[in-house]
Amino acid sequence: MKLNRLLTRLTLSAGLASLSSNAMEIIAHRGASFDAPENTLAAMNLAWKQKADAVELDIHLTKDGRVIVIHDFDTKRVGAVTNKVVE
């Protein structure tokens, strides 16, 4: 639960900070997901190399308390086996 509150605060803080600037910012959606597998370190690193100002990623918490980065609530679209993320 503490992790969820922390992530919410970080998200809100980043959003409020961006409101104070008039400059356009490039935010890489799930990293550079057009050129690398989404939500991976490769996609995040490539986004920085491509001069993105920020990256957006999807964070979930599994039932055993592990933090994972995946957009969907199951692995059907991105994996060979379909599992629910919370499991």
CA distances from residue 45 to 42, 48, 53, 68 in whole angstroms, order as listed: 5, 5, 12, 17
Asked whether the beta carbons of 28 and 54 are under 8 A apart, the reply is yes
Active-site residue 29, yes or no? Answer: yes
Q: Residues 60, 61, 71, 75: which is the catalytic one?
A: 71
Three-state secondary-structure class, residue 43: helix
Q: Does the pLDDT of residue 54 top 80, yes or no? A: yes
Output 73 or 1, whichever has higher pLDDT. 73
Burial 53-71 (b: 16+ CB within 10 A, else e): eebbbeeeeeeeeeeebbb
21-36 residue pLDDT tens: 667 788 888 888 889 9
Q: What pTM was computed for the model?
A: 0.63
Active-site residue 71, yes or no? Answer: yes
Domain ranges (residues) in the chain: 25-87
